[in-house]
Amino acid sequence: MYYRRKSNNKYNSTKFTRDGETFDSQAEYIRFRELTFMQEAGEIYNLQRQLKFELIPAQYETIPTGEYYKRGELKGKPKFKEVCIEKAVTYTADFVYIVKATGERVVEDVKGYSDPASAGYAKFVLKRKMMLYFHNVKVKEISKTITKKKKRKNNNDDEDNA
Residue partners of 155: CB distance under 8 A and separation at least 6: none
Q: pLDDT digit string (tens) for 94-131?
A: 999 999 999 999 999 998 777 778 888 889 999 999 99
Residue scoring higher pLDDT (19 or 69) = 69
- Backbone phi, then psi, for 135, in 5-degree steps? -115, -5
Nearest one of 5, 27, 9 to 17, comparing CA atoms: 5
Q: pLDDT digit string (tens) for 123-153?
A: 999 999 999 999 999 999 998 765 454 444 4
| Beta bridge mates, 105 | 98
Instruction: Output the pLDDT for position 150.
Output: 44
Residue scoring higher pLDDT (19 or 75) = 75
Residue scoring higher pLDDT (17 or 41) = 41
- Structural element, H or E, at residue 67: strand 59-68
Q: Are 111 and 94 in contact (CB under 8 A)?
A: no
Q: Is the pLDDT of residue 66 over 60?
A: yes
Q: Assess if CATH 3.40.1350 describes domain 2-57+89-140.
A: yes
For all residues of the chain together, what is the average pLDDT? 84
pTM for this entry: 0.73
Nearest one of 99, 158, 106 to 131, comparing CA atoms: 106
